Structure 1
Amino acid sequence: MASHFKIGDIIEGEVTGIQNYGVFVNLTEEEQGLVHISECKHGYMGDINDFVKIGDKVKVVVIDIDEYTKKFSLSMRALEKINVPSFPQRSKKRKKRNSPKIGFKTIEEKMPSWIEEALESIDKNEFNTKVEV
């Protein structure tokens, strides 16, 4: 028996069975598919019996067809619109800390005077002490 459905087809079917792992949907009189619990809706799925009832008409999309067993994997979640903004979220600007103006600038200013002091102390022989044996 050849199926006339293919992956990506959107079909309206009737819920024929509910298990704790998913929902069985009748596609035609001969063909039935399973909507796994993870494919029912986005987010956490509590009790599947609160989501659908037997006899409900549901819209599903075919996401996989097993070639050997001719089993249909269906999804209701793929048809749900996700609430995502059409533009990226602006990044939050961090407050700039008020830090004192220290760092390389002050070292740059003080370095010439330090060099000058060091050269003067060398000239005065402060560092050249004789060691007596």
Structure 2
Amino acid sequence: MSIEVGSKLQGKVTGITNFGAFVELPNGSTGLVHISEVADNYVKDINDHLKVGDMVEVKVMNVGTDGKIGLSIRKAKPEAERPQRPQRPRHSGGRPSNTERPENFEQKMAKFMKDSEERLSTLKRATESKRGGRGARRG
């Protein structure tokens, strides 16, 4: 039985590390499920999700030329069981839409200078108040 990318197989967890779990496949070969492919949510400790000896369904993600097999548990689940992630709006290739007016360099520079002046004056006021006001000299 050859291992093909995209196929779903049953496997047995044979080892657990801090970066993933090793799974023995039906043909006797072993693949790695990276910690990011264990569950749809963030996995801090893989031991909270898997134990040595567990039977898991995995999807073959890649097969390297060196024989390494990349597996995924979360992608082996049917689409209906996986939580839907919100779709981000797609960009139109960096071009602004008709409703947006792009800022030119001068507008951006003016905005930056105004913001910078405000920050400097705030910082200057705070520093002077800590020194005891303007022109105060120690004697």
Q: Where does the alignment leave 5 or more consecutive residues of structure 2 unmatched? A: 86-139
1:65 maps to which of 26, 42, 63:
63
Q: Distance in 1 between matches of 2:64 and 2:28?
A: 16
Counterpart among 71, 74, 78 of residue 77 in structure 1: 74
Letter in 1 for 2:82: I
- 1:37-76 to 2 correspondences below 5 Å: 37-67=35-65, 69-76=66-73
- What 5-or-longer segments of structure 1 have no aligned partner? 86-133
Compare the two structures and name the one with the higher helix fraction.
2
Given residue 23 of structure 1, which amino acid in structure 2 is its aligned partner?
A
Offset at residue 29 of structure 1 (A): 5.4
Count of residue correspondences:
82
The percent of aligned pairs where both chains have the same amino acid is 40
CA distance in 1, matches of 2:48, 2:5: 28
Q: Distance in 2 between matches of 1:6 and 1:17?
A: 22
Amino acid at match of 1:76: I
Q: CA deviation at 1:56?
A: 0.5
Which structure has the larger Rg over C-alpha atoms? 1
Q: Choose from 8, 13, 17 the match for 1:15.
A: 13
Q: CA RMSD in A?
A: 1.7
